[in-house]
Amino acid sequence: MPSVSSTTTFQLNTKAQIPAVGLGTWQSGPGEVKNAVYHALKVGYRHIDCAYVYGNETEVGQGLEQAFKEGIVKREDIFITTKLWCTFHRRPEENLNESLKRLGLDYVDLYLMHWPCPMNANGNDPMFPKLPDGSRDLDKSWSHIQTWKLLEKLLETGKTKAIGVSNYSVKFLEELLSQVSVVPAANQIENHPYLPQQDVLDYCAAKGIVVTAYSPLGSTGCPLFEEEGVHKVAAKHNVSPGTVLISYQVNRGVVVIPKSVTPSRIEQNYNIISLDDEDLAALASISKTKGVTRYIKPSFGVNFGWPDVQ
Ligand code: NDP
C-alpha cells in the first residue's frame, strides 16, 4: 500500500475521486453541526457524509454556505454524500430533492441507498413506521432491486453524480449485481477492528466498488479506544488510538468518515498516518482473538445475520 495522507483520494467507478477522510454527521445536533462542517472544511476536509434521516441537512447546508461565502471552498472542491431513507424507496427523486433543498445544493456527489430495507410511509412515524404489534412496517411488496433501478434513472437528472449502497452484505451485493446495469460506486458499511468485514471488502474490490467505513471508532463512546491491540499500534507511532483507527481504514484502501462536533477532535481525526504491514496484520488479527462486535444493528426485519435488538 502506498503511503497515505489527509488528502488521499480513491477513484470511483465513475472516474470521480472520493476524498479518503470525510466528516460524519449522524447524531450531530442542529446547534452544533453547522460549526462542525464549517470547521472541518476550514482545516482541510473535502468530504461530508450526510443523510436525510439524520434530520440535520439544513444545518449542514448552513455550514457549507458559510464556507462558500468565505471562499474557503468552492462547490466543485468538495464531495457530498447523502442517503435515501427507507420510507422513500418508491420515491427516490422526491427524497433527493428534499435533501438538496435542505443542503442548499444543486447536486450531490454520491447518493446512497441507506439500507436495502423498504418501509411503508404509514403516517404513524414518517422515519421509523411501526405496525400495531410494534414491529417495523416493512414494504414487503417492493425490493431493493426495484429501488436501485429508480436510482439508476436519477443519474440522468444530474442531481447526483454517482449512486451507491450502504449496509450491503455480499449476499445483497450478489443479488443486486445479477439484476442491474449500473454497478454501485460505493458501499458504506460499519467497519473497525472488531468488524473488519474482509469478505465484503474483497468482493467490492473485485467489482470495483469503493468501500466506506462508518463508525470507525465504534460509534458513540468510542469503545475501540479501549482495545489493547489498537493501543499497541498507537504507542509504536506515538499517536492516539483514534488516529490508528481512522488511518487503518485508509491504509487498507477504505474511505473513512469519523464523526465529531468537537473542533479539536475534527482536526485530530483528519491527520492520518501511514501504517506498515505489521500494523495492519496486528489490527486485522484483533477480531480473530476478541471476536466480532457490531455496534449499529437496527431491527429492520431483514436477515443480515445480526441479532434483533428491539
Ligand atoms: P464514530 O465511530 O465516528 O464515533 C463518533 C463518536 O466518537 C462521537 O461520540 C464523537 O464525539 C467521538 N469522537 C470522534 N472523534 C474523537 C476523538 N478524536 N477523540 C474522542 N472521541 C471522538 O461513529 P458514527 O457512528 O458517528 O460513525 C461515523 C459516521 O458514519 C456517522 O456520523 C455517519 O455519517 C456515518 N454512519 C452511517 C451509517 C449508515 O447506515 N450508512 C450508520 C452509522 C454511521 P463528539 O462528536 O462529541 O466529538
Indicate if ligand 1 lies below 6 Å from the C-beta of 33: no
For domain 9-290, give the CATH number: 3.20.20.100
C-alpha cell at 287: 477480531
pLDDT number for residue 306: 59
Binding site listing for substrate: 114
pLDDT tens-place values along the chain, 310 residues long: 679 999 999 999 999 999 999 999 999 998 999 999 999 999 999 999 999 999 999 999 999 999 999 999 999 999 999 999 999 999 999 999 999 999 999 999 999 999 999 999 877 788 989 888 888 888 999 999 999 999 999 999 999 999 999 999 999 999 999 999 999 999 999 999 999 999 999 999 999 999 999 999 999 999 999 999 999 999 999 999 999 999 999 999 999 999 999 999 999 999 999 999 999 999 999 999 999 999 998 877 666 655 554 3
pLDDT number for residue 307: 56
Please tell me the distance between residue 232's alpha carbon and the centre of ligand 1 in angstroms: 22
Give the neighbor-by-neighbor strand order of the sheet with 110-113: 23-24, 47-49, 79-84, 110-113, 163-166, 186-190, 210-214, 255-256
pLDDT number for residue 310: 34
Q: If you take atom 36 of ligand 1, which residue's CA is the nearest one? A: 214
CB atoms within 10 A of CB 161: 17
- What is the amino acid identity at position 193? P
Indicate if ligand 1 lies below 6 Å from the C-beta of 242: yes
54 catalytic per annotation: yes
Q: What is the ipTM of this complex?
A: 0.99
Q: If you take atom 45 of ligand 1, which residue's CA is the nearest one? A: 260
Q: Please count the CA atoms within 13 angstroms of the CA of 169 that sit on its side-chain side.
A: 9
Indicate if ligand 1 lies below 6 Å from the C-beta of 265: yes
| DSSP letter for each residue of 239-296 | --HHHHHHHHHHHTT-EE--B---HHHHHHHH------HHHHHHHHHHHHHH----S-
pLDDT number for residue 157: 98
Identified catalytic residue from 38, 45, 52, 54 = 54
Q: If you take atom 30 of ligand 1, which residue's CA is the nearest one? A: 214
Q: If you take atom 46 of ligand 1, which residue's CA is the nearest one? A: 260
Indicate if ligand 1 lies below 6 Å from the C-beta of 81: no
pLDDT number for residue 124: 78
